[in-house]
Amino acid sequence: MTSKFSPLRLSLLFVLLTAATAPAQSPAASASRPNLVIINIDDLGYADIGPFGSKKNKTPRLDRMAAEGRMFTSFYSAAPLCSPSRAALMTGSYPRRVGLGRGSSHGVLFPGDDHALNPKEITIAEVLRGAGYTTGCFGKWHLGDQKGFLPTDQGFDHYYGIPYSNDMWPYNDPASPAAKWKWPRLPILRGTEVVGEIKNMEDQAQICRQLTEESVAFIRANRTKPFFLYLPHVFVHLPRPAVRKEFQPSPDPLEGQVREVDWSVGQILDCLKAEGLDKNTLVIFTSDNGGGRESENGPLRGSKGTPFEGGQRVPMIARWPAAIPAGTVCGELATHMDLLPTFAALGHGKVPTDRVIDGRDIGPLLTGRTDARTPHQEFFYHQENNLRAVRAGEWKFFKTGELYHLGDDIGETKNVAGANPSVVSDLQARMTRFEADLAAKSRPIGITPNPKTILPQPGIDGPEGFRPTLHLPR
């Protein structure tokens, strides 16, 4: 169903017209268990790609993916920062529910942080591996870098990538906000072993290609059995000059990174088609949170780190030719947290019943069922561990007293609290109930005693070089 506040622009009209010229496909009543792919971009803004309105960034493969699939225009990350949003995607629960509304002493986890996603959590990878799927993660993890907390400890059979953000390294531009921290060297891991290091900007520029090639190899190696591929790209996070020359048509480094991400999506889709897996593979493309510096989040207010729509409403495109109607748009509210129960249903896995799972099965929304509506009565916005706002239907209320009607005012520009006291009262009560629920039904964070970084700070010998970043003076 298309929401009346979906930000449809000329680019989307092109997508729909393109789809209209293709042979019609109706959703399959029942398909065999699909292969499942999540491509999660780092800090991609809502309007950074063509299907969601970008006039600057050319994204032909994402345009085609939207024409062949379904766009979700009201899709949310559960937090406006990296580690909390990834914890929610992995567990199907709000970050505060699993103790990861923030890192130990910062908004996200730092190298050598003693906090991490608890191994007792049941991740989407564990749910699917329990159902017979082979699982692979290739990219940025950012849910803990200590022994026992890496992807292969959390349900993934295969892992290749970096354990945290790519600006958490010693070679930042002095003007970068990250330069104030004393970072260790940045490792590349395969499984739990260090197999490489990112030492310079040329190494940074190769990350997207490397993760794409690892993902393609994983698909080919597992073509005869169901698989779950999680590709949490390092792009388009800073430092942005890191991009291969063939994808840099202008001085704008963000444009280059977006173009290369688009190339990567094309490589994944082309591989699926070449291996005969195209029709029965569900591919989800999204972002971990709203865009940061230089990104386009319009028509939304705010950006990464904020509880406004620009901080948590993210682009999402779903493609599955066997079941998803091509060239369609869904404006119903859905979230990263919904992927665990949805993938469990599609893959015949078991959703944990001994804990609260905040996500819901959005299969009917994916397949375009005409009567499908959001399974969420409300959605809650956070900044770290602080509850900031709630959305119910088209109403969004901030704890500070502002009320916005997103159907009429997607940019959150007109506070209508004074004219709607009953709505304000209702949403205040919902926030109070949610705080009480979290207090009663949350789970502990994972903690490591005596943590240390994987690689040392450059030029420092002995144990001192492995001191966690947060323990060092700035």
The question of whether 330 is a catalytic residue gets the answer no
Tell me phi and psi for residue 277, to 5 degrees: -110, 0
The residues, ordered by sequence, that sit 6+ positions from 469 with a Cβ below 8 Å of its Cβ are: 110, 111, 112, 113, 168, 181, 182, 183, 184, 453
The residues, ordered by sequence, that sit 6+ positions from 397 with a Cβ below 8 Å of its Cβ are: 389, 390, 391, 403, 404, 417, 423, 424, 427, 428, 431
Give residue 113's identity as a one-letter amino acid code.
D
Of 115, 137, 142, 376, catalytic: 142
The residues, ordered by sequence, that sit 6+ positions from 40 with a Cβ below 8 Å of its Cβ are: 86, 89, 139, 230, 231, 232, 233, 286, 287, 288
Cis bond before residue 236 (omega within 30° of 0): yes
Distance CA 253, CA 455 (A): 28
Reduced 3-state DSSP string for 225-242: CCEEEEEECCCCCCCCCC
The question of whether 271 is a catalytic residue gets the answer no
Of 82, 208, 271, 330, catalytic: 82
Give residue 15's identity as a one-letter amino acid code.
V
127 neighbors 351 (Cβ within 8 angstroms):
yes
Distance CA 245, CA 249 (A): 8
Sign of the CA dihedral with 251 first, then 257, 259, and 260 last: positive
SS3 464: helix
Which DSSP state fits 419?
G
Distance CA 387, CA 393 (A): 18
Distance CA 146, CA 466 (A): 12
Distance CA 143, CA 251 (A): 33
89 neighbors 41 (Cβ within 8 angstroms):
no
Q: On the CB side of 243, how many CA atoms lie within 13 Å of its CA?
A: 27
204 neighbors 260 (Cβ within 8 angstroms):
no
Label residue 440 left, alpha or beta by phi (over 0 means left) and psi (-120 to 50 means alpha): alpha
Q: Which residues are catalytic?
A: 82, 142
